[in-house]
Amino acid sequence: MKKYLKIMMTVIRNAYIRDSKIPGFVMVSLLTSMLDIFITIVFFDIIFSASASIAGWSFYQVLFLYSLSKTITSFHSALTKSGTQAMAHNYVRLGELDFYLTKPIDAMFLVSVSKPKIYSFLSMFLSIGLGAYALIQLGVSYSIVNAIWFVILALFTTVLFYYLQVLTIIPAFWLLQAWSLADTINKFQNFMRYPTGIFSKALQYILTLVFPIMTVSYFPAKVLFFGANLPDISLVILVTIAFILITRYLWRLGERSYSSASS
Amino acid sequence: MKKYLSYFISSWKSCTAYKVDYFLNFFFSLVFFFISFALWKTIYGETGIDGISNYSLTNTITYFFVTNIIFRLDVGQSMWLNNDIWSGYLTNDLVRPWNVKIVENCFAFANLFVGFIIYIPFMAIIYFAAHQYITLPVGIDGLYFVITLIIGMIFLLVYSMCLHSLCFYFGDQDANIDLSNYAIMILAGGMFPLAFLPEKFAAFVHALPFKILFDTPANIWLGKLQWSEISHSWIEAGIWIVIFYIIFTLLFKNGLKRYTGTGR
C-alpha cells in the first residue's frame, strides 16, 4: 500500500510539473468545464420551467445529483481517465503495455495512473461548490445517519466508477485499437445526471445492475434526500464488490491473451 | 483529380481498418438520443403540457433525431490539421505533388462519408424505436434541409480550418478546439432547440452564425421556417463562409512560412 501511495505521489508531482508549464491549456480546460456546468444549469432551468419536478426530484435535487456525478467523474478525470483511454488507444496496439507489465506493481493500477490530468481537480472543486450550493438552496436539514451513509456510498461508487471505466476498455486486449471504447464511459456518464425514474423499467434494471452507471450517483443522493434503507445500501455495496471482481478477472484474462506488438 | 480520389478512397479504407471499433462507436452514439428521448417523454408526460416554446413532444423528439444525424456530419470532429502541424506530420504532405489543403479535407470527408453510410442502419434503429414521435420533412422542405446541411458543413469546414491554422502561430490548439467544438454545439442548437433558451441569451445566440449547423436545418425539417427565413439563413451563412475562407487563406499562407516541421 505504501509503495502504491509513493508511486501515486510521484506521478502527481510529475503531472504538476508538466501542467504548470502549459497554463494556457489548463485555463482552457477549466473554461470548458465551467461552460459545461453553466450550460447544464441553463438546461435544467429549461426543463424545470416546464415541470416542477422530474421523476419526483426537484431542481436543486437534480442539480445536486449532477454535481455529485461531475465530482466523481472529475476525480477520475484527474487521476485515471487518460491512462485508461491511452490503453484503448495505443498501449495494446503499439505494444506499450510491455512497459507496465514488466514493472513489479499491479499493471491495471499503473496503466490507470499513467497520465493524470491534475487540473481536473479544479473542475472537481467547482462541482463540490455547486453541490454545496444546491444543498443550501434546498434548505432542508439532513439527518446525520443519512449524511454518513451518503459519504460511505459515495466512496463506494467512486470506486465502482473506476472499475466500470476500466471494464469498458478491457476489450482493447482483443480488439487492439478501441477508440470507441475509450469514449464509452463519457457517453454513458450522461445517464448519471438524472434520476432513474425518467427511464423505462428495463433500462433502469440494465443501468443499475448490468452496467451500473446510474448506481454511481443516484443511490448516494437518494440516501441523502430520501433516507438510508437496507436494499439501497446493500445494492451499492454488492454491485461494487461484484464489479471489482469481474473487472479484475477480465483484466487478468486480457493480460494472458496479450502478445505485445512487433517492431 | 484522380490522385485526390485515390487518396479519398485510401482514407476511407484506413478509417474502417478497425471495423469492430468503428461499429461500436456508432452503437454507443445512440446513447445520447435515447437519454434525450426518455427525458423529454417524462417531462411532457409528467406535466401534461402541450409544448415548450412552440415545440410539442413530437417536435422535440424529432429535433433530437435530426441533430443526431447532423452530428455524423460534423467536419470539426474529423479534422486533423492541428495535429498534423503540431506533430510535424504535415511535412509528409508538403513534400508531395498535391494541394495540402485538399488532402487535409479529403481525409475529413472520407471519414464523414463512410461514417454516415455506416450510421444509416443505426438511424433506422432510432426511427423504429421512436417512430411515433418522429415526423419526416414534408415536400420541398426535404430538399431545403439537404441544401442547408451542405452549407452548414462548408461553414464549419472553413471555420475549423481557421481554428486549426492557429497552430502555426500559437502551437497546439487541441484544448481550444475542444472548447470551441463544445461551445459551438451549444450555440448551434446541438444540445437543445435554441427556442428553449431564455430570451436574452437566445437573442445573443441568434446573432451568431452557428445556428446554420443544427438549429436551422432541424427547424426546416420540422417545417417551422418560411422560405424567406431559409433564404436569409443561406445568404448569412454564405457571407460568413467567405469571411472565414479569407481569414483561413491568410492564416494558412503566412503560417506555412513559419512552419518548421520539427514537431514536438
B191: nearest CB among A39, A184, A188 = A39
What average pLDDT is seen over chain A?
90
Neighbours of A111 (CB within 10 A): 23
Rounded to whole angstroms, the Cα distance separating B201 from B103 reads 39
Residue B47 to residue A50, Cβ atoms within 8 A: yes
pLDDT in tens, B119-139: 888 889 899 989 999 999 988
Who's near B187: CB < 8 A, 6+ residues apart? B205, B208, B210, B211
ipTM, 2 decimals? 0.78
Instruction: Report the chain A residue with the minimal C-alpha distance to residue B176.
Output: A28
**How would residue A93 be classed by pLDDT, with cut points 50, 70 and 90?**
confident
Are the C-beta atoms of B155 and B79 separated by less than 8 Å?
no
Q: B155 or B179: which carries more pLDDT confidence?
A: B155
Domain range summary for chain B, segments of one domain joined by +? 2-258
SS (H, E, C) B121-185: HHHHHHHHHHHHHCCCCCCCHHHHHHHHHHHHHHHHHHHHHHHHHCHHHHCCCHHHHHHHHHHHH
Q: Residue A115 is placed in which grid cell?
A: 497520465
A51: nearest CB among B28, B43, B172 = B43
Point out which residues pair with B55 in neighbouring strands: B52
Residue A190 to residue B175, Cβ atoms within 8 A: no
Residue A43 to residue B192, Cβ atoms within 8 A: yes
What average pLDDT is seen over chain B?
87
| CB proximity A194 to B under 8 Å | yes
What backbone torsions phi and psi does residue B189 show, to the nearest 5 degrees? 90, 25
Compute the average pLDDT of residues A226-244: 95
- Asked if residue A213 has pLDDT above 80, the reply is yes
Percent of chain B at pLDDT exceeding 70: 97
**DSSP state, residue A206:** I
Q: How far A47 CA sits from the closest chain B CA (Å)?
A: 7
Percent of chain A at pLDDT exceeding 70: 99
Supply the pLDDT for residue B58: 94
Would you give the distance in Å from CA A119 to the centre of its chain? Answer: 16
Helix ranges, A97-140 (H): 97-101, 107-112, 120-138
Most confident among A9-18, A213-222, B188-197 (mean pLDDT): A213-222
SS (H, E, C) B38-85: HHHHHHHHHHCCCCECCECHHHHHHHHHHHHHHHCCCHHHHCCHHHHH
**How would residue B262 be classed by pLDDT, with cut points 50, 70 and 90?**
low
Q: Determine the residue among A42, A169, A189 to mutate to test chain B binding: the one whose Cβ has the most chain B Cβ atoms within 10 Å.
A: A42
Residue A180 to residue B25, Cβ atoms within 8 A: yes
Supply the pLDDT for residue B263: 52
- Asked if residue A225 has pLDDT above 90, the reply is yes
Rounded to whole angstroms, the Cα distance separating A111 from A172 reads 13
Compute the average pLDDT of residues B25-37: 80
**How would residue A263 be classed by pLDDT, with cut points 50, 70 and 90?**
low
- Secondary structure of residue A210 in the 3-state scheme: helix
**How would residue B117 be classed by pLDDT, with cut points 50, 70 and 90?**
confident
Q: Residue B16 is placed in which grid cell?
A: 474502417
